[in-house]
Amino acid sequence: MTMARAVAWRAGRFAIDLAQPRVMGIVNVTPDSFSDGGAHASAEAALRHCEQLLKEGADILDIGGESTRPGSPAVPLDVELARVLPVVREAVKLNVPLSIDTYKPEVMRAVLELGADIVNDVWALRQPGAREAVAAHPSCGVCLMHMHRDPQTMQTAPMQGDVVPEVLSFWAEQVAQLRALKVDPSRITLDPGIGFGKTAAQNFALLARQRKLLEAGYPLLLGWSRKSSIGTVTGIPAAAERLVPSVTAAVLAVDRGAAIVRVHDVRDTVAAIAVWRAMKAEETHSQLTRQQEQVP
């Protein structure tokens, strides 16, 4: 069984149309990002990057003030707030859905008060007070991601066994707890957590069997961009040089039902999805033509 694309994702100020796949552009306001080396660490640079990603076709912006790459240290609350709040304060004026990549409930409350639309949490709201912070907001969107262990240890001892049922079971539990707080299902998306405590083989199993993940009943958000598993299978060690395989993975994810893809390389991903959309439109047209020809 597969699920048809959801009509919309309720996300704060917006109802994001998911009839076609959407591109979420990554804005790292960190000095130690695995992918861009802190190129957008200042508020001014981050805002310029936001504007550039929108010009390239991003539908959603995802701002993060703490790196969650494998082995990355936790960032103190005051440091994350100092990084993120000045960017959010200005970025909300861009009139685009604004997602904040954080697991700290204090940050969630602060950015939602400033007008951010989405909480994108690698911990799936499992930190104390996080669910309540989201539930207290009347309409913010939320993405619940599967992560095995934590960013400090997830790749030193990745999970074992069949990853697909494990992810589905985890999602079911986290969604149930959020729904118990009266959060409307239209606000929820799910992320299988590519690279978060999984082997390369498990990550590609999630891609190969992604249609099975649709059975969870919520829109899927996939983040393959520049991940180490791509480096493993391509032999490209530098994250910033993984553009082509990252775009390939994004299109494969979209073809298997992803509603949103989270990427660094917005322009190239948008262009690749345009090619996919043209192919799907012609495929649909051809199917309708054949059906009409068969009508007596």
**Beta strands, E only, the chain:** 8-11, 14-17, 22-28, 60-64, 98-101, 118-121, 141-145, 188-191, 221-222, 260-263
**Residue 214 to residues 106, 167, 206, Cα–Cα distance (Å):** 31, 11, 11
Q: Is 47 exposed, middle or buried (0-12, 13-18, 19+ CB in 10 A)?
A: buried
Catalytic residues, which ones?
Answer: 227, 262
Buried-state track 113-148, b at ≥16 Cβ within 10 A, e below 16: ebebbbbbbbbbbbeeebbebbbebebbbbbbbbbb
Q: State CA 276 to chain mean position distance.
A: 20
Residue 29 vs residues 67, 107, 111, 247: alpha-carbon distances, Å: 9, 14, 14, 23
Q: Which two tokens stand for residue 208?
A: 């190969």
Instruction: Pull the structure tokens for residue 281.
Output: 């439109």
CA distance 226 to 266: 12
The secondary structure of residue 241, as a DSSP letter, is G
Query: Please, are residues 88 and 46 in contact by the beta-carbon 8 Å criterion?
Result: no
Question: How is residue 120 written in tokens?
Answer: 């994108």
